Structure 1
Amino acid sequence: MERGDIVLARITFLEAAKQIQIWENVVFLDETWLNANQTVGKMWTDNTAHSSTKVPEGKGERLIICHAGNAKGFIPNALLAFKSKKTGDYHEEMNADKFEEWFENNLLNNLTEPSIIIMDNAKYHSRQLNKPPTSQNNKGTLVEWLKKNNVDADMSMLKEKLVQLVKLHKSPTPTYKLDEMAKERGHRVLRLPPYHCQYKAIELIWAQIKGYVAKNNMSPPFTANKMLKLLEEASQHVTAENWKKVVEKTQKIITDDWNKYIRIDRITDQQLIIVVGEDSDSDMDTNSDQESSSDSDK
């Protein structure tokens, strides 16, 4: 997290976040998962069969979930949940097409006021418009992009020259499709620095939901369909007050981190000035005179 580019991304985010005037309209979105066998880790038991749970071993089926909310609560009709078909990382089953469809139909269509949407940089959040090719692409792709961007290029040119032209004419910052979709609706996307989930208020809401689900998933059947019902029930138990508290906590973390950088900047900007007193000057002059006299005597 202290790598140079990550630090710069953090400062850029904090600087932008500090400009936010109305935090009630800041929307936090994220994806997570729920396992069908998810339940409390420990409980009291008297070692009899009657008091033991019937939770099967393993994680069981999995739900992949996407949702969004602000200080007023979850965004209405924005819940997306579907059964996973794989056992690996849940990010494998969320792609740009699926996420962009949810973003437009379930999120943007249900935002009633201009909002700032805070999200991370997951691959499926970050499809670029007019994405420039790299040296890994073939010459045909390089030439096609250059012509599309009104740069004279053809297949007779050396690949090294084509790559250099792309570097000269590409935008200094990428343009993301989601950002443009939000902009067209009067909203703005603010992207988190990598590895900084503490700036994502919805993480605390996920913890509340998973805690509720675990406490109420104590008996068969342990299936994805049952987990979906528990998820919907848990979401209804998350109040606007819950959301308001986590947004205020996140805002405080952001403010504290930004103020920390301000203090560090002021300290490092101060110059260390050493003032030599008159007594020291006199002593130095006297010593110099004595040394000169001694040298002349010799």
Structure 2
Amino acid sequence: MSKRGKTLNSQSREQVVKLFEYFERESVNGGPLLPVSQPRDRVAEALGIGKRTVTQILKEKHGSSGTEENTLSTPKKRKRDKKVVDIDNFDAAAIRNHIYGYYSRKEYPTRKNLMSSLKEVGLFFGGKSSLSKILRSIGFRYKKSDKRKILLERYDIILKRLTFLRQVKTITAWDNVVFIDETWLNANHTVSQTWTDDTAASTSKVPLGKGARLIICHAGSASQGFIPDCLLAFASKSTSDYHEEMNFEVFKEWFAKLLANLENPSTIIMDNAPYHSVQVDKPPTQATKKQEIVSWLERNGVEANPTLLKVELLNLVKATKPSKPRYVIDELALEHGHEVIRLPPYHCQYNAIELIWAQIKGHAARNNTEPPFSTAKLLTLLQNACAEVTTED
């Protein structure tokens, strides 16, 4: 029996209110909201708690036999040792270097082996969850390593990024900025996700695999949209990287056509693909034959004694070569009154045409739904998609 006059705590008082409101709803209903044959469900509904909680409390009160009369108690909260995850900067640096040590030994740090090795060196004595909190607090996450992000912070790449950003900050006529890029489309390219129950009736007819590849090159600006008559697309003859099939001669011929179709003096932004970056009279390197080094020096007005050692000839090259590389494509653009700005390596996000490629590929995916799945059909889809791209895009 309950004891009258006993003071109820705030939680118990809230339960009284819930119980009253439930009975009040039953009164309005003119009878039980749930069948009286379901007491567990009625208690859970009345008190706003889960049925599992009701079951656990009843088991604690009456035991597994259902005949006991145990005293109920408030579950104790698990004590957490806050000091385990409260580390200073010295310990944080030591744990970080300890993890780096795994990679230098060509090993992978897992939480299990870290708990053991950190304990051995006296850096950590807690449990798994505490270790996870510490690792997150010092910047580590359990995920796929982003090697591109690491490359972006390389010293020489940072310098090239700064140079590029300073160059583009001087641009005032952005309508006359032309973005160039290459991409590809596979013959079986289609939407990757849709509503399906994994039966043949709810599956597209697109074959498995990627299919043949279409290599694409184009250029666009905010004033002209895609530059007219400058779509280059051809079927790939290999399954390797598409950059390998776009050579300098093909690109140079396309680039000359592009220059002829530009309406105004423009700034052309492109990446550093090898076929973009063929140098004018490229300076020799360590791999160059000695006689070729001598010939290069003589072409550049330097008397080179063939009896000199190769290392001495290369030192003359170093003193003679221009401070910046001279690219064939850049000088071709300059002859027509245009300027080329090159993206820093690994920074495709600075090329606005990447967003247009997403639009193009989305169009092709949504419309590539029935046979034939070929590069010829894909070329038609590509041409239609390009025709829909506007200057506003």
- With normalisation by structure 1, the TM-score equals 0.79
Larger RCO, structures 1/2 (Cα 8 Å, 6+ apart): 1
CA distance in 2, matches of 1:64, 1:123: 16
Percent of residue pairs bearing the same amino acid type = 61
Aligned amino acid, residue 226 of structure 1: K
For residue 225 of structure 1, the aligned residue among 338, 352, 376 is: 376
Q: Structure 1 residues 142 and 47 mapped into 2: Cα distance closer, same or farther (>3 Å)?
A: closer
Relative to total residues, which structure has the larger strand share, 1 or 2?
1
1:197 counterpart = 2:348: yes
Specify which of 311, 318, 322 is matched with residue 171 of structure 1. Answer: 322
Q: 2:266 aligns with which of 115, 119, 128?
A: 115
Q: CA deviation at 1:6?
A: 0.6
Q: Which digits, 9 at most, give the CA deviation of each residue in 1:258-287, with x for residues without a partner?
A: xxxxxxxxxxxxxxxxxxxxxxxxxxxxxx
Return the offset for 1:14. Answer: 0.6
Aligned length: 241
1:12-70 Cα distance to aligned partner (Å, 9 max, x none): 11111000010000000000000000001122235554443111111001100000000
Partner Cα distance (2:250, 2:240) in 1:
18
Letter in 1 for 2:262: L
Q: Distance in 2 between matches of 1:141 and 1:48?
A: 65
User: Which residue does 2:22 correspond to in 1?
Assistant: none
Write out aligned runs for 1:34-183 (5 A): 34-45=185-196, 49-72=200-223, 73-105=225-257, 107-183=258-334
Secondary structure at the counterpart of residue 379 of structure 2: helix
Helix, strand or coil for the counterpart of 1:112?
coil
Partners of 1:148 and 1:51 in 2: CA distance: 68
Distance 1:41 1:48 in 2: 16
Which residue type is aligned with residue 99 of structure 1?
Answer: F
The list of structure 1 runs, each at least 4 consecutive aligned residues, that deviate by more than 3 angstroms after superposition, is: 45-51
Q: 2:163 aligns with which of 12, 34, 50?
A: 12
1:160 alignment partner AA:
V
SS in 2 for 1:241: coil
- Match of residue 182 from structure 2: 31
Distance in 2 of aligned mates of 1:54 and 1:31: 28
Q: CA deviation at 1:156?
A: 1.6
Letter in 2 for 1:164: N
Helix, strand or coil: the match of 2:392?
helix
Cα RMSD (Å) = 1.1
Gaps of 5+ in 2: 1-151
When Rg is computed on C-alpha atoms for both structures, the one with the higher figure is 2
- Residue 214 (structure 1) aligned with residue 346 (structure 2): no
2:358 maps to a residue whose letter is A
